[in-house]
Structure formats: C-alpha cells, structure tokens
A and B are shown apart, each in its own frame.
Chain A
Amino acid sequence: MTITRNRRVALGALAALMAASLTACSGGGGDDGGGGGAAEGASADEIEAALQEGGSMTYWTWTPQAETQVAAFEKAYPNVDVTIVDTVGAGDANTKLQNAIAAGDGVPDVVQIEYQSIPQFQLPGQLVDLTAFGFADLEDLYTPSTWGAVSQQGIWGLPQDSGPMAFFYNKDVFDAAGVEVPTTWDEYKAAAAKIKQHDPETCIGNDTGDAGFTTSMIWQAGGKPFHTENGEVTIDLADEGTTKWAEMYQPLIDDELLCQLPGWSDEWYQALNDGTIGSVALGAWMPGILEDGVPDGKGKWRVAPMPTYDGTPTNAENGGSAESIPGAAENKLLAAGFLKWLNSSDESIDAFMETGGFPATVKQLESPEFLGYESEYFGGQKINEVLAAGASDVNEGWQYLPWQSYANSIFADTVGQSYLDKTSLMDGLAAWQEENVSYGTEQGFTVNGG
C-alpha cells in the first residue's frame, strides 16, 4: 500500500502506452496457472535444507525496505540468490502477476499482494496453500485481522504489514477553530461544521469517493457486505453496518463539509501542507507519508484513535499486504524458506520497521521500544501506542470481494456519482452492488445479490 496511489498520474502515461498494445496483449491460453492446493508440502527441516543448498529465485515487491531485507537474507543464506523486481505499486503488481500467470512464463517465486487482492488470485487456484509447509504454526505471530486476511480455507500468504485505521489531525487547524479531537462520529460532524464556519476555505477532511476508504469505514461500522464461501459470493451493500455508515456520512456530503479533493493528488498534498484539510482517517502507515509528503506539517500533526459510533472502540484495516507463493512458481521450497524468513524472523521485521514499516506481528507491535518511540514530526507524541492500540480493536470477520480491485475501479462510476451529485449514498451503493453482481456472474461465480 503506502505510496502507491500518488503514482496514479504516472500510471496514466503508462496506460496510454499499454492501450497502444492492447490488441497484441496476451491471455488467450486456457491455463489458469495450475498449482494451488496442498500438492507438494515440506517440513521445516526440508525447507531449511533447501535454503542451505541454495539456488536462485525472484521476489516481486513494491516495499521500499525490500532491498535491506533481502541483503540481510542473502547474508544469512549465502547460497540463495534473490532477484528483486520492483512492481511499483499494488495496481501494477496485480496486472503484472495476472499477465505472467496467464502467459505461464516469468512467474515470480514470492510476490507481494495486497490483502484485498488475495482472493482474486487464490480462488482461481493460482496461489500455493502454505498449510503444506507447516505455516499454520505461525498463526500466533500475527494480529488476528492480518492472519484472517491471509487464511480463508487455507493459508495463502504471510502478512507483511498492517494498516489499522487511526485519526490523523492537524492540531493547529483544530485549535484555531476551537475544536476538540472528536471521539465519536457525531462529534466529528460537529467539528466539521465548526471548522468550515471558522474558515469556509478549510475542511475537516476530504473525500470525493474512495473505494479503499469507504470499505474500511463500512468495516469499522461493523458491516460485512461481502462474503465468499465455496465459490459462492454474497453481496449485501445495504446490511446493517453499511447502512449505519451511510446514514452517518450522508450529511457530510449534503452539507458540503468535506473538501472536494481526491486523495493522493498534488492538490491534496498541497492542502495537507497549508492546513486546508485538517485531518485524515487512514491506515497506520500514514506517518511515513505525512513526514515525506507534508513537510510543512512537522510538529503540527497528532494521531488519535478512530472516532466511534457509540464510544465503544472499533476499528478496521486500511491497506496492507502479504507475500504469497504463486502456484506456477518454479522453486517453491526455496520460496517457502525465504517467505518464512521474510515475514516471521525478527531480523527481517526489524529491518522493515527501521524505515517506517508498520508490522503485522504481535511481538513487534508490543515491544517497548516500538511503543515508546517519540515521533518528532508528531511533536514528540508516542504515536505507536495509539496506532498499536488501534490494531487490537479491528472488527473480525471482514472479507473483500474475490474481484476487489475491479470492484474498486468501478466505485467512481457508481458510488462516486453520489458524491458528485450529492445524492443518496445508499443509491450509489446499490448501483455498485448491481454492477458487481453482474460482473461476478459473468466471471463464473454464483452471486447472491443481498
């Protein structure tokens, strides 16, 4: 996740090039990449022996820390040669992996996949079930929500990071408007009105309709609109939690309390820098983005727990990814060894955290060193205490659609229209549901439309 979305503009350029070669694109073969299932397993000893014996493998990732981690790995296992391929961002990575699997050529041994995209590859049987490698024993290492994201009827990857949501706000903006940090969404709406009143050019937040944010907000409200079991998908974007969110959120749109700025645009960064936008509710990976992209906010920003509906702390994940082994990977034994080291060894996770990664492992999340870190950017606040506390409040049982990246791509066509025209979010959600039911059916799923 992290810095992927602000590269969208560059993607536009790339998209143009790709369109030119559209007709020449591959994908005709009937091969689904094969593999999957628990066909070839191995014990921990066998994996260790394979690592000692060595060989070469490929690792696709967009994690900035990957170089450091791989260097440490190659030092520990000098016979293994890991080639890193930078997949730039989650969107690109999905397309690239899909194409490689369809072509049956150049498939990586280990690949980074966003949590929300795992079902997209797992359901057609394109990922290795890691249960066969004894990875079920690793469950206790990870937070329940991240483990839940990789383990639906099998183990399809090991969690790398997590993004429990938190409320990041610019204290100067809040102080100037005489607003306290909201603890509930009602208080949030009152604060939004007050900030707007204080200076009509400013707003508490921005939103023009963002699928990642909305699904996380529905998750936090206790909604479970997507459910997949045995290839049968149920979509109910009018369930209790979703409705709860939509009813809470509608006035923010109707009363124009939010800035009409799409997230991750240049304009957005500018607005965060100059205090036009007073807060954002995003994943725990946000501090790195703020330090990097909002230098003028240094010393002004703080973090607080997510506002709640009734005072009971509940939370959701926003972004985050795991590493998986594709069924068509050439060297699965070596891949399993690397993957296990990458996402469960202290050495690797420490390297990941040193440069701002937010881990998925309980031990690191609870370490005094991590919790006691005082961020200079956040005016000396112990931000990880807040962020880690948020990780333990994440609602369980959330599932994404097996075609979430496609679903997100049509979000602006449907729910986005409610934002644009200031019409009912529930109508927009119903349109989104309808499109997804028809897409899912076309794609060979049995889809129940709520």
Chain B
Amino acid sequence: MTPFLVAFALMIVTPLVYSMYLSLFRNQLMGGTTFAGFANYVTAFTDPKLWDGVGRVGLFLVVQVPIMLGIALIAALAIDSGRLHGKSFFRVALFLPYAVPGVVAVLMWGFMYDDRLGLTGSVNDLVGFPLIDPYTKQWILTAIGNIVTWEFVGYNMLILYAALKTVPLEIYEAAAIDGANQFRIVRSIKIPAVRGALVIATIFSILGSFQLFNEPTILKQIEPALISTYYTPNIYAYNLSFVGNQVSYAATVAIVMGLVTAVVAYVVQLRGTRREI
C-alpha cells in the first residue's frame, strides 16, 4: 500500500493542491503576485469566455459522442457477428487511427480539409461547386468532430468488442434453440452485455470532450480567426497561463473545469448504472 500512496501523493495530490494554492493568487505584470483569496473563482463563474468554451465542448459532447459510440457499437457488433469476412483485418484497420499520434492525425486532416491543395478541393472541383468547406464558422466544429470520431472509433470499438467476447457461448446456443434471430440476439443479449462497457466508454469520451485541445489548436495554425483563444476551456487555460501571464487564473479555470467534468461524468455514471439494475 505504501508505494501506491507515495505515488498517489506525488502524482495526483501534489499537483492538485498546488493548483488550488496557485488559484488563490493574482499575477500582474505591474505589481507581481499577490494574494487574492477566492476572487479568481468569482471571476471564473462570470467569465463569458470560459462559459463560451464550456458551451462549445458541451455541444460537441452531446453531438459527437453518441455518433462516435454508435459507429463503434455497430462496428463491434459487425466484427462479433461472425458473418464478416476478414474480421481481423477490419478490427486492425478500425483501430489503426488510434495508433496515429493525435497531432499527426490533425495535420493530416487539416491538409485534407484544405480547399486548394487538399481532398476537399478535389471533391469541390469534381462536383463543380463548393460542396464542402470545413474552414467556415458553420462547419469547423463539425470538422473537428469528424477528426475526433476518426481517431477514437477504433478504440471504443475495442472496448465494446472485448465486452461482447465475454458473453458465454451457451447463451447464444440457448437463444438459437429458442428460435431467436440475429436481431433478437443483438437486442436481448449483446446490447445488455455491453452496457457496462458503454458507460465506461461514455465517461472516457466525456473526459476527452472537455479536454478538447489538440485538434482546435493545430487547426488554428491553418485558420487563426476561426478558432478563438478561448475556443475550449483547455485552450483558454493554456493561453491564460503561457501567453497572458495569468498562471493563477489559469489554475482556477483548470479547477473549475475539473469540477464541471467530475459532475457530468458522475451524473452519467449514476444514470448508466441505474438502468443496469
């Protein structure tokens, strides 16, 4: 137990406590660092930039996560069905994007989205009018969602597939004897079997959504005006700390976001497990 506690104290508790300590101060170019009590928290709760970012990742969460997990579930069921030829190929192929480093993936997509040199340009040339234009205010969040989905479908598919593999074969045999068709098996056996895994995948995805950073940060290099310095809470905290010299306020934003994420994840878990009973 002791080695664990030491690691836990060093890696988890210390940064948390230090962030909380930092969040009680105020950094100024003129005047240095002074004690500010809970003033940063008061600012944070009424900071339109922070809540703009929270709203955006919230929207992202509500739309992208169900789509991604839906695709992952369908893929897992397809591979598990035994009717798919070359299922190990598909399993690896779907998982492969997860193995691509996130930054590389975004650079790759960022290039494909380009309407002059990239795939988007070729498609638009083919149809003769600007059919898709990811680098616009209306589409940029969708474009980010597409990248994130591409990156993480395979990962989630594996979680669900692993859960499907734990279903004892006898149950399928019994179902077959009872005359259940494939759809009935999926609805009554497979989906209930993966519910627990689905809750876990959902919670991971919620954490991922609230921490959205890489994709918009890299796309900002391509279209600076489309992605603001407070596009997501993490980007906001990063800019406050490393560009705006407001380390303490950045720590406050990080703590507030930690709380928001914890609450949302907890609610989802409660809901998920309640339905399981």
> Which of A's residues lie within 8 Å of B, judged by CB?
8-9, 11-13, 15-16, 18-19, 22-32, 95, 98, 102, 120, 123-124, 208-209, 231, 262, 265-267, 270-271, 402-403, 405-406, 409-410, 412-413, 416-417, 419-420, 439, 442-445
Most central of A19, A267, A416 by chain B CB within 10 Å: A19
Q: Which residues of B contact A442 (CB under 8 A)?
A: 28, 246
The 5 closest A-B pairs by CB, nearest first: A416-B225, A444-B30, A27-B247, A444-B28, A412-B224
Q: Which residues of B contact A443 (CB under 8 A)?
A: 28-30, 245
B32 is an interface residue with CB less than 8 A from chain A: yes
Q: Which residues of A contact B246 (CB under 8 A)?
A: 442
B51 is an interface residue with CB less than 8 A from chain A: no
B217 touches A15 (CB 8 A): yes
Q: Closest residue to A9 on the B side, CB-wise?
A: B221
> Which of B's residues lie within 8 Å of A, judged by CB?
15-16, 18-19, 21-22, 25, 27-34, 102-103, 106-107, 111, 114, 116-117, 137, 213-214, 217-218, 220-226, 228-230, 234, 237-239, 241-248, 250-251, 254
Pairs across A and B, CB under 8 Å, 19 listed: A12-B218, A15-B213, A16-B102, A22-B254, A23-B19, A27-B27, A31-B32, A95-B242, A102-B247, A124-B30, A231-B30, A265-B222, A266-B111, A267-B222, A412-B229, A413-B229, A419-B225, A420-B137, A443-B29
Minimal beta-carbon separation of A183 from chain B (angstroms): 31
A262 touches B224 (CB 8 A): yes
Q: Which residues of A contact B225 (CB under 8 A)?
A: 208-209, 412-413, 416-417, 419-420
Most central of A25, A262, A270, A439 by chain B CB within 10 Å: A25
B228 touches A412 (CB 8 A): yes
B116 touches A16 (CB 8 A): no
Q: Closest residue to B29 on the A side, CB-wise?
A: A443
Q: Which residue from A27, A29, A409, A412 sits with its C-beta under 8 Å from B243?
A: A409
A252 to B128, CA, bound (A): 26
In terms of DSSP, what is the predominant structure of the interface of chain A?
helix
Known A-B contacts A262-B224, A406-B245; A30 and B33 likewise in contact (beta carbons under 8 Å): yes
Q: Which residues of B contact A413 (CB under 8 A)?
A: 225, 228-230
Q: Which residues of A contact B30 (CB under 8 A)?
A: 123-124, 231, 443-445
A403 touches B29 (CB 8 A): yes
Q: Which residues of A contact B217 (CB under 8 A)?
A: 12, 15-16
Q: Closest residue to A415 on the B side, CB-wise?
A: B225
Q: Which residue from B21, B117, B234, B241 sits with its C-beta under 8 Å from A28?
A: B21
Minimal beta-carbon separation of A258 from chain B (angstroms): 14
Q: Which residue from A22, A30, A410, A445 sits with its C-beta under 8 Å from B32?
A: A30
A124 touches B229 (CB 8 A): no
A266 to B222, CA, bound (A): 9
A403 to B137, CA, bound (A): 29
A131 to B254, CA, bound (A): 43
Q: Which residue from B214, B224, B247 sits with its C-beta under 8 Å from A16?
A: B214
Known A-B contacts A23-B16, A124-B32; A208 and B224 likewise in contact (beta carbons under 8 Å): yes
Q: Which residues of B contact A13 (CB under 8 A)?
A: 103, 218
A12 to B107, CA, bound (A): 10
Minimal beta-carbon separation of A271 from chain B (angstroms): 8
B19 touches A120 (CB 8 A): no
B244 touches A439 (CB 8 A): yes
A416 touches B224 (CB 8 A): yes
Known A-B contacts A28-B22, A267-B114; A120 and B224 likewise in contact (beta carbons under 8 Å): no
Q: Which residues of A contact B229 (CB under 8 A)?
A: 409-410, 412-413
A50 to B225, CA, bound (A): 51
With A28-B33, A95-B243 given, name 15 new contacts (CB 8 A). A15-B213, A24-B15, A27-B33, A29-B33, A32-B32, A98-B245, A124-B30, A262-B221, A267-B114, A267-B222, A409-B243, A412-B229, A413-B230, A443-B30, A445-B29
Most central of B16, B34, B241 by chain A CB within 10 Å: B241
Q: Which residues of B contact A267 (CB under 8 A)?
A: 114, 116-117, 222
Q: Closest residue to B114 on the A side, CB-wise?
A: A267
Q: Which residues of B contact A26 (CB under 8 A)?
A: 247
A270 touches B228 (CB 8 A): no
B29 touches A409 (CB 8 A): no
Q: Which residues of A contact B242 (CB under 8 A)?
A: 15, 18, 95
Q: Which residues of A contact B34 (CB under 8 A)?
A: 30
Q: Closest residue to B11 on the A side, CB-wise?
A: A24
B18 touches A23 (CB 8 A): yes
Minimal beta-carbon separation of A18 from chain B (angstroms): 7
Q: Which residues of A contact B254 (CB under 8 A)?
A: 22-23
Minimal beta-carbon separation of B194 from chain A (angstroms): 30
Minimal beta-carbon separation of A236 from chain B (angstroms): 20
A265 touches B221 (CB 8 A): yes
A23 to B241, CA, bound (A): 10
Q: Closest residue to B30 on the A side, CB-wise?
A: A444
Minimal beta-carbon separation of B64 from chain A (angstroms): 19
Minimal beta-carbon separation of B17 from chain A (angstroms): 10
Q: Closest residue to A15 on the B side, CB-wise?
A: B217
Q: Which residue from A12, A98, A265, A419 sits with its C-beta under 8 Å from B103?
A: A12
Q: Which residues of B contact A18 (CB under 8 A)?
A: 238, 242
